[in-house]
Structure 1
Amino acid sequence: MTKSDRITLYYSPQTRATGTRVLLEELGAPYDLHVLNMKAGEQRQPAYLAVNPLGKVPAIRHGEALVTEQVAIYIYLADLFPEAGLTPALDDARRGPYLRWIAYYGASFEPALIDKFMNHEPAPVTQSPYSDYESMLGALEAQLCRGPYLLGDHMTAADILWGIAFSWTMMFGLVPKKDVFARYAERITSRPAFQRINAADDEMAGRHAAAAGV
């Protein structure tokens, strides 16, 4: 496997895979889309379950490497293209905080978000993976107040992950539209890469809905 191998992104529009596609654009990475119509249930068919048994996107294939899980994909891709400047090097003092905030997304933010969305009673603080919703979000707010990005003045792949997540979750009322969150999301969603992919997603989602008879 070489860096020049094209990356295959298993993709469906207006899903968590959108952020991965934006990251690929920001990295200038060579990639191809393997598009799944999730409105037609293609992600639950045997062909894709052989790629990801959970039937979730994104997933990527790079040479012989198959990577699922959004957080792992971001780390893998940003490290694969260090010249893009979106990942701190292993000997950079920012590397630890960078990994912390990427892991925080999958380990704390998403579980808290799902509990809130489903109106689930959260686990006791001593057993919850995210303590409690307010504390989880408060830690993010405190970090972003140091801004303009998670690690200060320099944007990383973590900011693409979080900026797009904040944009979506504020849109659906899962995260309050505080100025610090709104300004942060705008820094990412106003970038040309996001604008291109967002427009392409709108068009693709319309085609998928029509094909699925939705």
Structure 2
Amino acid sequence: MPTLYGMPSTAAMAPHILLREIGRPFDLVLLDRGKGEHKSAAYLALNPHGRVPTLVDGDLVLYEAAAICLHLADLYPEAKLAPAVGTPERAEFYKWLIYLTNSVQAEMLLYFYPERHVEGAEAQAAFQAASEARLNGHFDGLDRALAGRTWLLGDTYSAADPYLFMLCRWTRFMGRPARTLANLGPYLARVLERPAVKASFEAEGLDAPYY
């Protein structure tokens, strides 16, 4: 039985939701950041970067949220979390998932951790403001892409949707949360209505505002 290691409201959220969408048994291990469990010798033996998520399934030890999402979509094709390989729809799925992790998520790490890049409160505030402006541009583009669509790929829910939902959740305390945009707002409400998403939030002990 697979085991997903994560922390509440982190990059583990997307694969956590997917595991619940799939509906197969799995174990969820929520590490305690305050106790430094993600830096313990036992966890570093699984993920030498000391970050979440990590999926352990038999001999397979896999980290990086997008990689786990792709693996789960391929491992359980009956869940229909990704279009068929070799189709134009699959190519679009790749485009969105890679964009979300390489462009949007990477920018969010800059926003949340300016101290890793510049020194001094004033410089960090300016760095964060510039990052937030770039994030606003990303979410404006995603909002436009969702016009007339139920899900990111159109009428079909896919692994890209919980990934986008996760990133939008991280904007909830920013100056302009993703939920305030014309298409993203209703989209996020639709994602939250899915039983797998509700169950994931309950398991992670998360309260409103959900996004």
What TM-score do the two structures reach when normalised by structure 2?
Answer: 0.81
Match of residue 71, structure 2, among 66, 70, 76: 76
Q: 1:35 to 1:136 in 2, by over 3 A?
A: closer
2-structure distance, mates of 1:135, 1:198: 28
Matching residue of 2:194: 191
2-structure distance, mates of 1:30, 1:113: 32
Shift of 1:96: 0.6
Residue 172 of structure 2 corresponds to residue 171 of structure 1: yes
Match of residue 64, structure 1, among 59, 71, 95: 59
Shift of 1:134: 4.5
2-structure distance, mates of 1:185, 1:172: 15
Q: 1:93 to 1:199 in 2, by over 3 A?
A: same
Question: For each residue in 1:171-214, what CA deviation from the matched residue of structure 2 results, as whole angstroms up to 9, or x when unmatched?
Answer: 222644212111111111121111122122218xxxxxxxxxxx
The runs of 5 or more residues in structure 2 that have no matched partner are 115-124, 207-211
Q: 1:65 to 1:188 in 2, by over 3 A?
A: same
Q: 1:105 to 1:181 in 2, by over 3 A?
A: same
The secondary structure found in structure 2 opposite 1:23 is helix
Residue 184 of structure 2 corresponds to residue 181 of structure 1: yes
Aligned 1:6-17 pairs, distance under 5 A: 6-17=1-12
Amino acid at match of 2:89: R
What TM-score do the two structures reach when normalised by structure 1?
Answer: 0.80
Question: For each residue in 1:45-89, what CA deviation from the matched residue of structure 2 results, as whole angstroms up to 9, or x when unmatched?
Answer: 111111111111111012222110011010000111011111111
Matching residue of 1:208: none
Amino acid at match of 1:143: A
1-structure distance, mates of 2:181, 2:31: 34
Matching residue of 2:157: 155
CA RMSD of superposed structures (Å) = 2.4
Shift of 1:120: 5.8
The secondary structure found in structure 2 opposite 1:102 is helix
The secondary structure found in structure 1 opposite 2:127 is coil
8 Å Cα contact 2:54-2:63 kept in structure 1: yes
Shift of 1:32: 1.5
Aligned residues: 191
Shift of 1:162: 0.8
The secondary structure found in structure 1 opposite 2:87 is coil
Amino acid at match of 1:194: V
The runs of 5 or more residues in structure 1 that have no matched partner are 1-5, 204-214
Matching residue of 2:80: 85
Q: 1:200 to 1:153 in 2, by over 3 A?
A: same
Amino acid at match of 1:155: Y
Residue 147 of structure 2 corresponds to residue 145 of structure 1: yes
